[in-house]
Amino acid sequence: MGKGARLGLVLALFVAAFGLVTYAVVAYVVPKPPVIDFAAGHSAGTPVDLHLQVVGSLGYGPHPTYVSYLTMNPSGKWVHTTRWDLPANTQVNVTIDQYDSGSPLRNQYFGGVTGTLGGKATLNGKSFTVLNANNGAGVGHTFTMPALGVSVPLWGVSSTAKNACNQAAPCPSSAAHEVVKFSFMTPGSQSVGHTYRWQCFVPCGLATVDGNGGPMQAIGYMGGFMTVEG
């Protein structure tokens, strides 16, 4: 190897090392969405209520235009996060207030309800097992936790709704929204300490490649994690 080639190699290694160090520092410094603890003080056998909302644009922070989920913490405050600690072997009663519009689904599979207790969900109080997204307002987002087989489509707010949410999150319950409810069981004690990915499977990242970028790839917006606690 000539002197130039060796110098080039050293430079390339230096650049790679610099990149790795920079990545580690940035990953450490960039704030992560907070974890909301639904496991602390939980008494075994009682269900946990998980109240979420989906907004068409968050309205603040580094990505104000991103669609996003929010989570209500145990003291009733909306928090911009998608990370939760939940107790093992527990029924989770989920309520999702959906303030975003919808569209036909690219993949009809995600119009179906799977993995919930009773294999169903309710939309504005009416039980359903599948939504036809080619009809009416369509589906805005899904709540899907693949490892548990849980998936629920979230119906969209009509584009002609008079009082669509037009403020920074959280949206007030006076704005037009669809209420989706369902329940699922968290895994048993053998899964304590394990973390489960969940996300939306509607490619809703506007102005990104195939809609799968932006909020679809940012933790705290269209995806998050559930950690099972003892």
Tokens of 156: 């969209």
Residues contacting 142, CB < 8 A, separation 6+: 110, 151, 152, 153, 154, 200, 201, 202
Cβ proximity to Cu ion: between 84 and 110 the closer is 110
Q: 223-229 and 195-199 as β-strands: parallel, antiparallel, unpaired?
A: antiparallel
**To the nearest whole angstrom, how small is the minimum distance from the Cβ of residue 204 to Cu ion?**
3
Cβ proximity to Cu ion: between 83 and 141 the closer is 141
Q: Which of residues 109-168 bind Cu ion (CB under 5 A)?
A: 141
Q: How far apart are CA 98 and CA 192, in angstroms?
A: 30
Q: Of the ranges 15-23, 79-87, 165-173, 220-228, which one interacts with Cu ion (CB under 5 A)?
A: 220-228
Which residue, judged by CB position, is nearest to Cu ion in the bound state?
A: 200
**To the nearest whole angstrom, how small is the minimum distance from the Cβ of residue 85 to Cu ion?**
23
Position 202 contacts Cu ion (CB under 5 A):
yes
Cβ proximity to Cu ion: between 87 and 156 the closer is 156
SS3 state at 24: helix
Distances (CA, A) of 79 to 71, 72, 76, 172, 222: 5, 6, 9, 14, 14
Number of residues that bind Cu ion (CB under 5 A): 5
Position 52 contacts Cu ion (CB under 5 A):
no
Bridge partner residues of 159 (DSSP) = none
Position 180 contacts Cu ion (CB under 5 A):
no
Position 83 contacts Cu ion (CB under 5 A):
no
Position 86 contacts Cu ion (CB under 5 A):
no
Residue ranges binding Cu ion (CB under 5 A): 141, 200, 202, 204, 222
